[in-house]
Structure 1
Amino acid sequence: MSKITEEIIYQGRILDLVSEVHLMPNNSESRFEIIKHPGGAAALPILADGRLLLIRQYRPAVEDYVYEIPAGRLEIGETPSDCIARELEEEIGYRPKKLESLGYVYSSVGFCTEKIFIFIATELEQTQTALEPDEFIEPWIVTLDKALEMISAGTITDAKTQLALMRYALK
C-alpha cells in the first residue's frame, strides 16, 4: 500500500488540495482528492477555580458562531505545545504555565491530513489578546458539567472540543 502519484490541484494559504493515486491492499489503484494541512494544536483552558474557558467564534465555513476550545494551525518548525501557547495568548489572553497532553485526533481521515494535538492548559497567567482582523472571538466560561450538557444538547458541535471535554471528564 503506497502512494503512486501526486498532483497538486490547488495551493492555498492554509491548505493544499492534491489528487493522489494509491496502491490499495488488493493491489488495485485508486484515485483520491486529499487536503494537505500542516496540523494544529488545541487546548482546554482550566481557570484557577476549576471552571473552563471556552470560546464562541464566528466560523465562515459554517456561517455561524461555534463554541470551541482555543486552537490554531502549526507554523513551519513549530511544536504543538509552542503553537497552542501562542494561540491561547492570542485568542483568550492567557499564557499557560502548564500543558498536559490529551493526545491527538485526525479531523477527517477520509480526505484530510490534519492532525490536531490536544492539551489541557492550567496555571494560566493573564496577558493580552492579539486577535487577527478576521477573528471574532468571545470568551465563554463554564463548568465541566455545563459543557457536557452543551454537548448533549447539541450546542457544542465542534469535534475537537467534544473530544477534549470528554477526555478531560474521563481523567
Structure 2
Amino acid sequence: MRWKVNSERTLYRDQWVHVASADVELPDGRHLDHRIIRTAAPGAGLAIITDARVLLIWRHRFITDTWGWEIPQGSIRNGEDPAIAAAREAEEETGWRAQAPIIPLLYTQPSPGLLTSEHHIYTAKDAEYIGCPKDQHESQKVAWVPLADVPQLIAKRDIVAGSTIAALCLLMIP
C-alpha cells in the first residue's frame, strides 16, 4: 500500500539537513503529520579486512553520548565516485590506504521511515599504513579488530552503528 503525500512544508533547512513536515494520507483515508529528514549528501564507508581482522575506529558520538567501534565512513563529495569517497574517508580517518580492488559490499538506507540517508559500503582486502590520521578528531583510536571478536562486541554494545553492523555481519558469512 502506497502512502500519498498531499503537501509538505519546511520546518528547518541548512547546508547539511532539511527537516520537513508532510501531510500524508494513508490507504484507509486517515492523515498523518509526518516528519521527513533529508540529508545533504550520501555517505560511503570502507571495511578493510586483512588476516581475519577489520580496521575500525573507536569514537564518541555526542548525539547519543556513546562510544563505539565503527568502520570509517563519511560524506560523498558532489560528483565523487562512492568507492573513491570510501577509500578517501578510510585514509583520512585511519591513516591506512586501502589497496585495490575496492569492492561494493552493500547499499543501505539506515532509517527510511524518517530520513533519506544513503550509505554505500565497500570492502578491501589490504591496506598500507601511510601515517597518522588526517582527521584526528574523528576517533580516539584506530585498531585492527579480529572478526571473531565482532559478535561479542555487538553483544556488549561496543558496536552499535547500523551500517557497521550490517557490513561486518556480511563479511563474517563464510
- TM-score of the alignment, normalized to the shorter chain, above 0.5: yes
Give the Cα–Cα distance (whole angstroms) in 1 for the partners of residues 129 and 68 of structure 2: 24
After TM superposition, give the deviation of residue 146 of structure 1 in Å: 0.9
Deviations 1:79-124 (A, max 9, x none): 2212111101100112222212122121112211111111112231
- Once the two structures are TM-superposed, the CA of residue 35 in structure 1 deviates from its matched residue by 0.8
Q: Distance in 2 between matches of 1:115 and 1:25?
A: 27
Quick one: which amino acid aligns to residue 149 of structure 1?
A: Q
Consecutive unaligned residues of structure 1, counting only runs of 5 or more, are none
**Identity over the aligned pairs, expressed in percent?**
27
- Do 2:106 and 2:167's aligned partners in 1 also have CA atoms closer than 8 Å? no
Which one of the candidate residues 91, 94, 106 is aligned to 2:93?
91
Local SS of the residue matching 1:98:
coil
Deviates more, 1:108-117 or 1:6-15: 6-15
- Structure 1 distance, partners of 2:94, 2:161, is 18
Structure 1 residues 3 and 137, CA gap change in structure 2 (3 angstroms): farther
Find runs of 4+ consecutive structure 1 residues off by over 3 angstroms: 1-4, 22-30
Q: CA RMSD in A?
A: 2.0
Gaps of 5+ in 2: none
| Distance in 2 of aligned mates of 1:147 and 1:80 | 25
Alignment match, 2:141: 138
CA apart distance, 1:2: 4.4
- The 8 Å contact of residues 159 and 165 in structure 2, kept in 1 or not, is answered as yes
On the 8 A contact 1:91/1:137 being kept in 2, the answer is: no
Answer yes or no: is 1:167 the counterpart of 2:167: no
Matched, 1:41 2:58: no
State the distance in 2 between where 1:147 and 1:82 align: 26
- Return the alpha-carbon distance in structure 2 between the equivalents of residues 142 and 22 of structure 1: 45
Per the alignment, residue 21 of structure 2 pairs with 19
CA distance in 2, matches of 1:151, 1:120: 20
Determine the C-alpha separation between the residues in 1 that align with 2:74 and 2:171.
20
- TM-score, length-scaled by structure 2: 0.85
Give secondary structure in 1 for the equivalent of 2:102.
strand
Alpha-carbon distance between aligned partners in 2 of 1:167 and 1:157, rounded to the nearest angstrom: 15
Q: Is the alpha carbon distance of 1:77 and 1:2 closer, same or farther for their aligned partners in structure 2, counting shifts above 3 Å?
A: farther
Number of aligned positions between the proteins: 169
Letter in 2 for 1:108: S
Distance in 2 (CA, whole Å) between partners of 1:69 and 1:151 is 13
Q: Which amino acid aligns with 2:103?
A: E
Residue 153 of structure 1 corresponds to which residue in structure 2?
156
With 4-13 and 89-98 compared, the bigger mean Cα shift is at 4-13
Match of 1:74 among 76, 92, 103: 76
TM-score normalised over the length of structure 1: 0.86
| Residue in structure 1 matching 2:108, options 95, 105, 109 | 105
Using the alignment, how far apart are the partners of 2:63 and 2:101 within structure 1? 32
Shift in alpha-carbon separation, 1:108–1:23, aligned structure 2, 3 A:
same
